[in-house]
Chain A
Amino acid sequence: MTRPAAPEARATRPAQRPAGLDLARIRADFPILGQRINGRPLVYLDNAATSQKPRHVIDAVRRYYEETNANVHRAVHTLSERATAAYEGARTKVQRFLNAAEPREIIFVRGTTEAINLVARSLGQARLRPGDEVLISAMEHHSNIVPWQLACEERGARLRVIPMNQDGELVLEDLDSLLNERTRILAVAHVSNSLGTVNPVAELIRAARSRGVPVLIDGAQAAPHLRVDVQALGCDFYAISGHKMFGPTGIGALYGRAELLEAMPPFQGGGDMIRTVTFERTTYAPVPHKFEAGTPNIAGAVGLGAAVDYLSGLDWDRIEEHERDVLAYAVERVGAAPGVRLIGRPAHRAGVVAFVMDAAHAHDVGTIVDRAGVAIRTGHHCTQPVMDFFGVPATARASFALYNRREDVDALVEALDEVLKVFT
């Protein structure tokens, strides 16, 4: 495994461009990057929304449908056995990727959103009582807010929020009172999707676990950038989306500690999640199958497994160095561009640079840079409370993946110049 544990990356600023990473080869693995958009080479800087897919993943999904496709866990015929082996093999790959203790601690879901809904519903049902509290943070994606609001509403519990400061970093001064005897779970993003902040999750997990509070980490934005080790972190749940880490859409994984998963009630009912069914009573399959009702996204899981293989084959010391370099360059160049104001200045950052322009609304910025072939995201990024906090209706967000380079930043900055030309 070439991704050993290093729960938190440090966004320092190297003076020199690092040598030694064969970026041209990596870029050649992603067929879509060779495209021209509006007559210009594609500069894809919307990776926090979804990443592009390497040929490895595309081929694995195609091969699965061409050679293996059958339903899993059911029939005795050869294809079904092959499909089951491919699906369960993908589970083992994800287990190793996150360094979970056992494959059964990995539940395949549609993505991070479904993973969080699963925990909010199931754990909420089992543990939340009137007056209890759920603790999240001020920079959560809507998918780590709304499921908890639903659970709190249903159970008469209260949602509490760890605040943040103007740099876009969590403020932990009042953590002692926020994490109290009524707290039933802490759910927090490893990396913020709208600010790029790498949160001190190891510290938060220690604080919560020392009070017996289970912790869910939303790892959607962390998995493509950081080496994640759920055992070293000590979290109880860790949620990831395949499509944000170079895998297909519609597949993701929830890591859950076996002990907790076993005690939790099912999320959805249906086939595959049962042991015996009579009209009087149903007994459930052991984990992970208890949480995987119905025919799963088998091809998606195979594609996610291939993405994990792809990532595991890369030299992560060099990837991290390269990503740090490009991100620091982006913060510096975008931050210095005329008429641009960065939103959030976190000391530890991964993958994201958010900004606004005085002259133009983020949406106009997005349209204008797209004409130069540069794809960025504009809007509230499913984090309306973050927009409210910074007092902006929307931001423009450039988000990076391992295949981006300094030249992509240059193209963005050049395109931002065009915005000024239109509006001044």
Chain B
Amino acid sequence: MKFAIVVHGAPYVDQASRSAYLFARSVIQEGHEIYRIFFYHDGVYNANLLSVPPQDEAHIESEWATLGREHHLDMVVCISSALRRGMLNKTESERYERDGVNINPIFTVSGLGQLVDAAIQADKLVTFGV
């Protein structure tokens, strides 16, 4: 079965991001396919390259990046949500002349069309976050 996963919550702020991650991992372990993971609203913060959590705590952003890399996942961050929240990849940072890059390059920055496409193409769409 093909899943689309939508993440609305920022890491740590509530359980949404953690639950989404564990669900994504289970989808793969159970032998299903993840069509796309779309990060919207505060979910864009899961792509943060610069977070430094305490050493004895989980590093959610890094776990997403590892999962994405190991399983070649299509992880997309919504461009309008990201820009508004100051989450920029290299292209956007240059375009808007900002002094830094904080989106992990494993995440693609794209538009809402990717969310709608995922909704149409996947068998099931699951949203995490209030």
Co-assembled chains A and B:
no
**Which residues of A pack against B, CB within 8 Å?**
none
**Which residues of B pack against A, CB within 8 Å?**
none
